[in-house]
Amino acid sequence: MAFVVRCKRSRSPPRGFDSARRTRTRPLVEMEEFCVGKGKAGMAPALPDDMLLEVFKRLPPPRDVVRCGAVCRRWRRLVSGAGCLPTPPRHFGFFRNYGPSPLPPFVPTAGIVLDIGFLPVPLACGAVLVDSRGRHLLLRELGPGFVRELKLLVCNPLEKTSVRVPSLYIAGHRVACCVLIPGEGAAFRIVVVLFGSAPNHFEVLVYASASSAWEAATGPMTRALVVRRGPSVVVGDVVYKLQGEEKYIMAIDEAKMTLSAVPLPDTGMLLYAGNHWIGKTGDDRLCFFAIREQLALVKWVLEAPGKWVEQQPVDLRSLMHPALVGDLAHMKLSAKMSDQLRGCKLVSFAAFCEGTGMLFFVMADWVVVLDPKTWRMERLWRNTDESRPLGDVYPCEMLQWPPVLKDISARPDEAGEGVC
């Protein structure tokens, strides 16, 4: 049983009303009637748990549901109960580098729009994304002195916070790697690898937000390393960087500040930009992905130094259900560049999300996501600008689910200490 209290509103303000003292209105009166433990007479009994869950299930996750979890302990217990609410998508969406835009635009895929327009970057200069990890972005600022200085910014688009990192003078050097490693809370580290103008010479620089300073180490290389574009992954204290079309993966131990190389597995196929990628397993082991010409996804796991173990291949074509990927299920697709001359649309890797383990692809100008836990493939967004083909994307992970209060930017008086 529930009581609804309806209050009549007067069109004219009451006498003695002072607009300077106007405050925010209280929550709905109906909600107060459902709360217990207030010690007031005549209060209606609280809604039972099953009825509250029916209300929560009709709220759009995750924003409103997470806010309900901040009301009181009882609501948080209900919201955080396993299986009581529909699981939201694994990602808010993704950012991408897009030339006409001074800052990387965001593509929402879960109904929540994010924006990094709050960054202290002059629009005349702009910035580009260089890494993304743990719902944090690492950007490089453009503009005057771009070739001589490395100006980096770390931002959290959810909390709208940013930190400008002290710039590095890099004249005469090539940036081979620039990786963000989020820590606890707002802490983070940045690993930068520079190749000097002298042959077989490298520099490893590590920035820690705790000390607000760079540490540097330099040394010779036993082999010539070429600067190539490629993805990175963090496994413990080691940063792995795929060197594009080269036959090795660059490994940087950010604790020891050393540089080494990991040879690629014997794939038995021609490797070129886009048809291979790196990631990591749930138990923190380096893995290597490749797409064969027949759209077979192959995965190798590094079991021991120099020992790659091939996993069972997965046919990507069999995962393309028309209800989830639309006309891609019937389109001629290939991971081989030369097949474009025969009318095939190219398939290439776009991102690997370390937090969720999900793979992102670009298929015929569509961004497609694959969940390796459920083998569910779904297309997310299509690029309509034919003059600028899609490249890498930078996913922004969803909040932890079930939601916890630390993911909510609540004031101290809204931290859920009340008891409903």
Percent of the chain whose pLDDT exceeds 70: 80
Confidence of residue 133 (pLDDT cuts 50, 70, 90): very high
Structural domains in the chain, CATH included, are 25-86+410-414 (1.20.1280)
Q: Under the phi-then-psi rule, with left for phi > 0, alpha for psi from -120 to 50, and beta for the rest, what region is 375?
A: left
Please enumerate, as own/partner, the contacts of 262-268 that have beta carbons within 8 Å and a separation of 24 or more. Answer: 262/286, 262/302, 263/306, 264/288, 265/300, 265/308, 265/310, 266/308, 267/298, 267/300
Which amino acid type is present at position 168? Answer: L
Burial class (CB in 10 A: 0-12, 13-18, 19+), 176: buried
Instruction: Report the chain's C-alpha Rg in angstroms.
Output: 26
Average pLDDT, whole number, for the chain?
Answer: 82
Strand pairing category for 345-352 and 333-334: parallel
C-alpha 166/C-alpha 150 separation (Å) is 9
What pLDDT, on the 0 to 100 scale, is given for residue 23?
45
Angle, helices 73-80 vs 49-57, to 10°: value is 60
Distances (CA, A) of 282 to 162, 183, 250, 353, 364: 29, 18, 21, 12, 30
- What is residue 317's DSSP assignment? G
> Which of residues 263 and 420 earns the better pLDDT score?
263
Return the biggest CA–CA distance within the chain: 85
Characterize 114-135 residue by residue with b for buried, 16 or more Cβ atoms within 10 angstroms of its Cβ, and e for exposed: bebeebebeeeebbebbbbbbb
What's the pLDDT score for residue 262?
92
Question: pLDDT digits over 342-355, tens only?
Answer: 888 999 999 999 99
Distance CA 351, CA 393 (A): 6
